[in-house]
Each structure stands twice: as C-alpha cells, then as structure tokens.
Structure 1
Amino acid sequence: MKAIPYLVSVQKESSIVVEADELPFFYNQLHHHKEMQITLIESGEGVLIVGNYSQPFEAGQVYIIGANQPHMFKTDASLIQKKTKSKAVHIFFDMEKLRPCFGLLPELTAVEKLVSRASCGLQLNEGHRKQIGREIQFIEKSEGLTRLTTLLHLLEYIAAEVQLCRDLGTGISSPAKTFSGFRMDDVYKYTLENYHKDVSIQQIAEVACLTPHAFCKYFKKHTRKTYLTFLNEIRISEACKKITLGEYEGLSSLGYSTGFNNAVTFNRVFKRVIGMAPSDYVKKVRGERVMSE
C-alpha cells in the first residue's frame, strides 16, 4: 500500500491548522503531508502506523508526526462495531514557514532541535499528557497570533520538560539528551536496514565501534532493554505492518521475511510483544478492514 498525499486546508491568514475529528473511525488511509503534526487522542484506540513502525494507540496519548512521514491511525474494529466515536485533535504547522525564525531568534534553539529529533515521529511521555493536553485544547480554541505563540510555547515545553520520548522510527523510548547521539543513530539505522537478516551482537557492536560486552552495557543503559529484545520488537513491528497492509503471502513466510529462523520462535515472540498469536492478529485486522469499508 502506497501512502497517498493528504492536503491540509491551510488558510491564508494562518500558518497553523487545527482539525478536530469525532468520527466512527479515524482517516483509514496511509497518507502523508508537508506539515508537521501534533495529535492528541481524546478517545478511541487502534494501531498507529508511521513509516516502517507500528504500535497500539489509545486515549490520552500525544504524538508528533514528522513532515512528509507516511502514517495512519487505524481505529480498532470493536469500536467501529459498537458505533463508538473516536476523537482526536490534530495541529498541523508548516515548518518551512517557521524555520526562518530559528536563525533569527536564539530563544527557539531548543524548539529547532526538537523539530529535528521528531522527523520520524515521537510519542510523548504520558507523565506530561495532562499539561500538553491543556495546551493543545487551548490552541484549538485560540486563533491568530495567540494560536502561534501558544504553539511555540507548547513546543518549548516539550523540548525543555519532556525528557523521555518514544521514537516512532525505532520504537525505543530514550532520554532526550542521549537520543541523538551518533553511535545510537548508527545502531538504529543498521537495525532498520538489516532486521530481516541474522544480526549478531558482534556485528552490531562493530557498527557502534565497541566490543560486544561494552555494546551490551551501552545499549541497555540507553534503552533499558537488551539489543535482542529491541531487534525482535522491530521485526514484530514490521510483521504487523505487513499484515495490516496485506503485504505478505502467509504467516510462515512472514516470519522468515522478518528475520526469524522458524515459525515457533516467530509465534512465541509475536505473542509476547503484541499479546496475541499472529493468526489472531490477522483475524483482528481483517475484521477492522471489513468494518471500515
């Protein structure tokens, strides 16, 4: 499934667009747009797909989606069947319009770094969701210069106070101060490009220019999980995406294509990460697809 372009209705007198959705299900097409996006899920749940990553979403969560990043909030079929409305507030802003301000105003340095860090997307730490939710709701109700300054204040707050974010390019929750280190960036990039292969600790340690023992300690310190756990989460995330988009021939071949050596391991890890067997997940996705058509 290819991501389709989505046109945000930008008004000439505003550089910020706020859209409030209250529908049986969210927009169910993989799409992209030039604007960055901040989304507050007020009610509803389902699966979020961003680029090559997917994870469950639920009410109260806040996401930043990078510009031109393919994404989709896919509502859970059970809510559609119950005719329960899903509600979210989306804030769209074109960074190309705001970027010239960064070079002129040193006060926006932290915001500029946040925008760069969020290029693939971020899920914000839930400990701050009440404060962020209030800011987003205020932006929704305001207009003009007040809306712009409130958005900048929100971005400044996130940059300064939210120290733990989940990267929607990798699925790892990392402290903001260590997130952009070149060594971890190389590890993430290599993993995303080679998850379907047999990646050894020796190989990934060489990417990080560390001994295997030092790498294991380094990775656990920065992510609070082992590299094998992270690798398997990436593999399962990719498997879920292929199932959701219908880009697979069968569950056995799906396991092999995402880096697992046998179906037993694939089924065990899938159930541990997702909470259900692959076959049950397929049924769930098919049910969602039928309900949303």
Structure 2
Amino acid sequence: MKPKELIRTSLSHESFTISKHKLPRFLNVWHYHQELELIYIKKSTGTKFIGDSIERFSAGDLVLVGSCLPHLWLNDKIYFERKDLITEAWVIHFHPHCFGERFFNIPEMHKIFKVMEDAKVGIRINGVNKEKIIERMEKIFFESDFDKVMSLLHIMKLIEGEPDKTSLSSHSFINAYTKNSSTKLDKVYEFVLNNFKQEINLNQTAELVHMNPSAFSRYFKQTTNKTFVQFLNEVRIGYACKILLDEDDKNVSEIAFECGYNNLSNFNKQFKLITGKTPRAYLTSHRQADLMVND
C-alpha cells in the first residue's frame, strides 16, 4: 500500500489554498503531497493514518500534516453504508515555499520554520490555542487576499505557541527528523539513519561526538527528551512499518533482522511499545483500510 503523490497546485493568483469540504466521505487514498495540510474536522468520525501512527478521529480534531508525510483519513464503516451522512472539514494547504524560497528561513520566522519541520511527523493540536486557531480558520474564508496571508501566519504563530501539541508519526517513518542547531545531534542522527540495520552501541555513538557515554546519555536526554536507545528503537520500528506496508513477501522474522534486531521477541516488544500494536495487528489495520478504500 505505497502512498500516492497528489498534486495540489494552487491557482496562479493564490499562494495557498483554503477549502471547506462537505462530502459523504473523505478522500479515501493513502497519499502525500508537497504542501503542508492544516485540517479541522468539523463533522466526522473514523481512523486517521498519519505516517506510522494509527488513531481515532472525531469532530473537533485539529491536525497539521507536514510536507510529504503519507496520510489517510478513513471514515467509519457506517459512512460507506449510509447515504444520509455527511463529513465536514476545513482545510488549508500551503507549500513550504509559498511565500518565496527563503521567506521562512529569515531569523524572524525561525520559530514558524521549526513548526513546519516538526510537522513532518504530524502534529495534533490540543490545548488553549486550539479554539483561537479554529476561529481564525473560519474567518480566513471571508478575508481579503492580504488578510488571508496575515491570518495564515497568525495561525502558525498560534500553533508554535501552543504548549499542548502531540507528535503523531515516528521521526523515522519517512526518514525525516526535526532539525536541531546542534552539530553533535546532526552527526548522531545521520549516523543512526545510515547504520541502524547494523549493531549500534552507546559507546561508539558517544565516541562519534567526542563524549564519554555517561555525558552523551545525559546530553541526548536533555536535548531530545528521550534516551538514545528510545530514539534508535523508533528509527528501527519506523523502518519496519514501511517494510510491512511496502513488501508483502517478507515475514516478521525477516523484517526484524533487516531492521537491526537479532531477537524476535525484543522486536515484537519494541514494535508494540512504539506503535501500540503487534506487527501483524498493525499490518491488518492498514490492509482493512485499504480494502475499505477500494470497495
């Protein structure tokens, strides 16, 4: 079930698109696009697949999906059976370079750029700014062109300032990770992403950045809010999810070995810890989604 790229080209006189969708069902395609997607679910229920995250969604959900992140909003079965039900969503699509290639790279936009980078794994917005964002989204449909631009920037500022945000997919699902100004972390990320299929230990990683293992462990935890072992397991399990979805001819043992695990029980344990499902249950969930999409 490889994701399909959708081309969401804006009109020549628009730098980004805003839309209200009222349909019997949402678009039932496992897909990705260059544009970021801010979506507010006004009316609907179902399961959202964002990267390797699988969660329920319902009215009131507000999510920012990053550029090139595969996703699918799959309505509950009742929406496929009844013709009197309607889904409703408000959506903003904007390309990372919608205001020019360097606009979000200027110092004043640093925090907004950070949000766009974080969104590469998907962000669910939960807290005090959520209602303010929804109110601004509602107004943007009736604003002038200039005010629409200001509103989009204001919305992104509200997302950046929201303390209650939840990352959805693992950072490794599309081999994307949050950029950090630390050269040390850049080296560690690059090393892990290039070598996670092999045995990696704390000592060799610490040596890479010229630190002793204890100091490196403290530094990594303080900087990323997770242990190095947690990060390594996320990378490996994120890659395992991709293999499960893309390569039907491999069994779980083969996938575990390919992802750097020599112990199948440990692989199964880590997979469930990170995704909330066993490998087979995870695959079944996606296959059921695929069958419903193609009904």
Cα deviation for residue 244 of structure 1 reads 2.6
Q: Alpha carbons of 1:223 and 1:247: their partners in 2 closer, same or farther (altered >3 Å)?
A: farther
Cα deviation for residue 179 of structure 1 reads 4.2
Which shows bigger deviation, 116-125 or 56-65? 116-125
Segments of 5+ residues of structure 2 without an aligned counterpart are: none
- 1:71-121, CA deviations, whole angstroms, 9 ceiling, x for partnerless residues? 222537767667687654331223434137849x97x43466437635845
Secondary structure, aligned partner of 1:18: strand
Q: Distance between the aligned counterparts of 1:48 and 1:214, measured in 2?
A: 35
Given that 2:125 and 2:166 are in contact with CA atoms closer than 8 Å, whether structure 1 keeps it comes out as yes
- 1:154-195, CA deviations, whole angstroms, 9 ceiling, x for partnerless residues? 1233345559674967279xxxx9944332233223222222
Considering only aligned residues, what root-mean-square deviation do their CA atoms show, in Å?
A: 3.7
Cα deviation for residue 201 of structure 1 reads 0.6
Given that 2:24 and 2:79 are in contact with CA atoms closer than 8 Å, whether structure 1 keeps it comes out as no
Given that 2:123 and 2:165 are in contact with CA atoms closer than 8 Å, whether structure 1 keeps it comes out as no
Q: Name 1:71's counterpart in structure 2.
A: 70
Q: Distance between the aligned counterparts of 1:238 and 1:74, measured in 2?
A: 22
Cα deviation for residue 20 of structure 1 reads 3.7
Q: Distance between the aligned counterparts of 2:273 and 2:116, measured in 1?
A: 33
Normalising by the residue count of structure 2, what TM-score does the alignment of the two structures yield?
Answer: 0.76
Percent identity between matched residues is 23
AA of the residue aligned to 2:18: V
Segments of 5+ residues of structure 1 without an aligned counterpart are: none
Equivalent residue runs for 1:1-293 within 5 Å: 4-21=4-21, 22-33=23-34, 35-42=35-42, 43=44, 44-49=46-51, 54-59=52-57, 60-66=61-67, 69-73=68-72, 75=74, 88-99=89-100, 102=103, 108-110=108-110, 113-114=113-114, 117-118=117-118, 120-123=120-123, 126-127=126-127, 128-140=129-141, 142-160=143-161, 166=167, 170=171, 179-246=180-247, 249-293=250-294
Given that 2:66 and 2:116 are in contact with CA atoms closer than 8 Å, whether structure 1 keeps it comes out as no
Secondary structure, aligned partner of 1:190: helix
Q: Distance between the aligned counterparts of 1:206 and 1:145, measured in 2?
A: 52
Given that 2:112 and 2:156 are in contact with CA atoms closer than 8 Å, whether structure 1 keeps it comes out as no
Cα deviation for residue 64 of structure 1 reads 4.1
